[in-house]
Chain A
Amino acid sequence: MSEVNELYQQLILEHNKSPRNFKKLENATHDADGYNPLCGDHYHVWLKLDGDTIADIGFQGSGCAISKSSASMMTSAVKGATIQEAKEMLEKYHSVIMTKIGDEIPEEKIESLGSLGALAGVREFPARIKCASLAWHTMNAALTQKEKSVSTEN
């Protein structure tokens, strides 16, 4: 699994080239800034909540293919989900990309992530895990509104 071709799968490259929901939401109810000072990846995530449901989500910013495609896939995955569902997805996704190299990940677990499962290969590239989780942390910060800005370095 440690071949670069398996990290940079077609789906990931495609999301990198044409990211989904790559826009600012004018009527956002929640938003936050996410920054990785080590490599300069920088994104802003906007959410529009309708009660408990994520009615719309958008992001903008720049960074590597892993951070951008994971942000794009995240927005597709959580749009229409409830906050609770989004947080569960975050947890599952996180536990997959953080699985130690060599440890088995149950097939069903990756499958249940849908297209997000394409990013499971990131765990073989420890230096890139932060790239793959930046957007998620940013969304989480927006939802909890504890802080307006998150960084991968604290």
Chain B
Amino acid sequence: MSTLEKEILFDVTTVRKDFPILTLSVYGKPLVYLDNAATTQKPQIVLDTLTKYYTEQNSNIHRGVHFLSEVATFEYEKARGKVKNLLNAADSKEIIFTKGTTDGINLVAHSYGRTHINAGDEVIISAMEHHSNIVPWQLLCEERGATLRVIPMNDEGELLIDGFQKMLSPKTKIVSVVYVSNSLGTINPIKKIIELSHANGTPVLIDGAQSVAHMKVDVRELDCDFFVFSGHKIFGPTGIGALYGKSEWLEKMIPYQGGGDMIRSVTFEKTTFNDLPFKFEAGTPNIAGGIGLGAAIDYVQKIGLDAIREYEHELLEYGTDTLQSVNGLRIIGTAKEKASVISFVVENAHPHDVGTILDREGIAIRTGHHCTQPVMQRFGIPATARASLSMYNMKEEIDILVRGIEKVKEIFG
């Protein structure tokens, strides 16, 4: 398909109509929602799916013989199939429903970590990880007597792959890195990282929290061993997410939590565990969330992740150019490969004050350390202001952002 045809196919005005919240006014100004890395808004179809579930399908799953339970189970498992398709996994049993990215990483740190990581071993993460991909490994390393190592980055916010290569050794038991940085926007060369790790015999976990809604992911093509993401960052509900794991790993891993649904049989002497994926899904799951996530995936795929990526790249270029031309504004995170996240600082104005002033203009951005304190330390700043763009954002909104920043400069100039 030519780019022209794609441009015709992707129409931001049409997309915006699917998101009722985007018509809101805040403080009498039209909402300009630029905090999509924190969470995305939900299209009507997701809201309708949730309502339909609770009004026509609500029941517990995997256990009832009755009609509703069968409907709910069918819908929930159908959603699992949609996650499988989104990631192009080989089999639905490799898709574990979780609470989100954090939960997925903790699951792997627990279930893989406690069986494969021992005293003297090493875990490698990167300098731009979200706290959720630092702390679980830190806890694990402390408990197992292992060491946490960190891939360094340059001043643009790009990982130093040479440095990473030198870190790999027989002691490396897992590499866990973020695909797209939530505070810098960097798209990491994860294919290269996976190749190098595999050549070293080491499995790789990819934190896909910031990638799923913005680009196509093919876990088989990437050949990653684990991939985690959160539903709420891809237009789905909160409290649901998924972990993809190669079945050869998942089979070998110990359960994460014990309880109902994850067992085959229980006696007081011995419990045998259920098959994948249920072995890792103890208790009644977020059924509505799973089904809602399925609706969100359908929605995104209908628009097409390639078209989304292309449109967002255009937004990123426009946003970078316009923001860069603002006097006294400095963009933090200038990697060559970037997703539509623009972190910045404004001379003489603390990001927190920038956030408040923009808020009163109806502009929602995030300010702070974005759960990546080590990134802030690396750049020697306490915090940044961050505009993170999604497919429903428009160039006009970036112009409004720039006018808001001009107002900040008037006050703090």
Contact = CB atoms under 8 A, between A and B. Distances in A.
B191 interface: no
Given A4-B356, A8-B353, A39-B383, A65 B412 contact: yes
A89 B350 CA distance: 27
B411 interface: yes
Given A13-B411, A13-B412, A64-B352, A39 B367 contact: yes
Given A40-B383, A62-B382, A128-B356, A8 B369 contact: no
B306 to A, nearest CB: 37
Contact of A40 (B349, B376, B412): B376
B360 A3 contact: yes
Nearest to B382: A40
Contacts of A13: 411-412
Contacts, number: 48
Nearest 4 interchain pairs by C-beta = A64-B352, A64-B350, A40-B382, A39-B352
Contacts of A39: 351-352, 367-368, 383
B357 interface: yes
Given A4-B407, A42-B382, 5 more contacts: A7-B356, A38-B368, A41-B352, A64-B353, A128-B356
Contacts of B376: 40
Interface string A125-145: 101100100000000000000
A5 B411 contact: yes
Interface of B: 27, 349-353, 356-357, 360, 367-369, 376, 382-383, 407, 411-412
Interface in A25-80: 38-42, 62-66
16 contacts: A2-B27, A2-B360, A4-B356, A39-B367, A39-B368, A39-B383, A40-B368, A42-B382, A63-B350, A63-B352, A64-B352, A65-B350, A66-B352, A66-B353, A125-B356, A127-B356
Interface residues of A, number: 21
A96 B178 CA distance: 45
Interface of A: 2-5, 7-8, 13, 38-42, 62-66, 125, 127-128, 131
B400 to A, nearest CB: 15
Nearest to A8: B411
A134 to B, nearest CB: 12
A26 to B, nearest CB: 26
B411 A131 contact: no
Nearest to B367: A39
A130 B407 CA distance: 24
A76 to B, nearest CB: 21
A88 to B, nearest CB: 29
Contacts of B369: 40
B250 to A, nearest CB: 36
B350 to A, nearest CB: 4
A60 B373 CA distance: 21
Nearest to A39: B352
Contacts of B27: 2
A3 B410 CA distance: 14
A13 B408 CA distance: 12
Contacts of A63: 350, 352, 382
A42 to B, nearest CB: 8
**Residue among B352, B357, B367, B368 having the largest count of chain A Cβ atoms under 10 Å:** B352
A60 to B, nearest CB: 14
B353 to A, nearest CB: 5
Nearest to B413: A13
